[in-house]
Copies of this chain bind each other. A is one copy, B any other.
Amino acid sequence: MKVLKGDCLKLLEQIQDESVEAIYLDPPFFTEKTHKLKNRDGSQEFSFDDLWGCHKKYAEFLYQRLVHLHRVLKSSGSIFIHCDATANYLIRSLLNEVFGPDQFRSEIIWYYKRWSNSKKGLLPAHQTIYFYSKTDSFTFNTRYTDYSESTNVDQILQRRSRDSQGKTVYARDEQGEVILNDSKKGVPLSDVWEIPYLNPKAKERVGYPTQKPILLLERIIEMATNPGDLILDPFCGSGTTLVAAKLLGRHGIGMDISDDAVNLTQQRLINPIKTDSNLLQKGRNSYLTADKEALALLQGLDSIPVHRNKGIDAILKQQFNHKPILVRVQKPGESLLESIRLLSAAAQTKSSQLSILVQTQQSESISEQMIPASIKIVHAPLVQIKQILHDTGKDNAVS
């Protein structure tokens, strides 16, 4: 691991041709003031130079460095450029210029959930990483994702058979459930990655403005290099790339023009802290306490699903007496009284004055007095249907 201080343009001169397996960079973006619009009537002939406009300086800056980066890359090497939303199109053109359009591999979308704000418009929740290789024979380790994470993929993994008309259909067992394929290889990683944003509470955080999650870099490094390979980050900032490289047994060279960045990086390399994302490790589904079946019963209702809370499955968006309206769906094998108890407890802590319990199981009749006034009970279709069958059965003794 080497961390060099200075402008990477100069520092790169010391790096040998074709010596680096992978490059990751998150170049600084110069925010320049907007340029004026020219004639919009379309009368004038279109010129490509216009597109560059005032960004010429920045383009030049990056272009020079990209040329060097291309030079030091091995023929099996790849480059990953992390882009600002305002500059990605610019960087893309430069990459096409330096690496060639044929060497474009992927436009990786890193997306995440984030705090919202009152912005008018869509909440920005992704960043772009361009992936180019130097030649067509580039190092690439295919990575598979767990297919169980996504229900859509489940469908793809369903076993197929032919129906009576000879059409391909999904195979189903006697219960009508789909049968899954045996293959457990998983789904090849796509170019859309959900990786949690570096959380405000994460210990991994070192306070650097554009700090990236180690998990993001790990994925890139594992994908494009093998252990022992050399990785270069010409704008290393807080040094996440090098930390990830070290954790994965790769070599690394970092460069930054700022003293602080270089110091920070060296410090982090001595004692790398990586917060294992609970979310990523266990998967989103591990948080779900309000199970799918329960929420399905509430479909169409204007409600907020509630997880991480045993007593309730949802809160209505509507309020009652300025207090939340809680909803619980009776769970299988749970007595009605137990349901009422759990819901009552939740209602108390949330000072709710109106709660709704969806009864899903037929039960012993319980006295009205055992139901708190603030709890209303509604019946799942199943319960009502069974009641109907029971009633008609009495009249009409045929099963």
Binding site for B on A (CB under 8 A): 34-35, 37-38, 40-42, 45-46, 48, 50-51, 53, 56, 59-60, 63-64, 67-68, 70-71, 85-86, 88-90, 92-94, 96-98, 100-102, 104-109, 111-117, 119-126, 128, 131, 140, 142, 146-154, 156-157, 176-177, 180, 182-192, 196, 278-279, 284-285, 287-288, 292-293, 296-301, 304-309, 315-325, 327, 332, 350-351, 354, 356, 358, 360-361, 376, 378-382, 384-385, 388-389, 392, 396, 398-399
Contact assessment for B104 and A351 in the assembled complex, using a CB-CB cutoff below 8 Å: no
Contacts of A323 in B (CB 8 A): 180
Contact assessment for A180 and B351 in the assembled complex, using a CB-CB cutoff below 8 Å: yes
CA distance A131 to B124 in the complex (A): 12
Contact assessment for B86 and A101 in the assembled complex, using a CB-CB cutoff below 8 Å: yes
Within the complex, the shortest CB–CB distance from A239 to chain B, in Å, comes to: 26
Chain B CB within 10 Å — which of A104, A177, A324 has the most? Answer: A324
Contact assessment for B97 and A122 in the assembled complex, using a CB-CB cutoff below 8 Å: no
Contacts of A356 in B (CB 8 A): 385, 388
Contact assessment for B89 and A108 in the assembled complex, using a CB-CB cutoff below 8 Å: no
The binding surface of chain A is classed by DSSP as: mixed
Contact assessment for A46 and B59 in the assembled complex, using a CB-CB cutoff below 8 Å: yes
Contacts of A60 in B (CB 8 A): 45-46
CA distance A191 to B126 in the complex (A): 7
Within the complex, the shortest CB–CB distance from A173 to chain B, in Å, comes to: 11
Pick from B101, B151, B192: contact of A125, CB below 8 A.
B192
Contact assessment for A190 and B153 in the assembled complex, using a CB-CB cutoff below 8 Å: no
Closest 10 CB pairs of A and B: A296-B296, A125-B190, A378-B384, A89-B89, A149-B287, A89-B92, A113-B152, A42-B67, A115-B156, A51-B93
Contact assessment for A288 and B299 in the assembled complex, using a CB-CB cutoff below 8 Å: yes
Within the complex, the shortest CB–CB distance from A133 to chain B, in Å, comes to: 8
Within the complex, the shortest CB–CB distance from A25 to chain B, in Å, comes to: 16
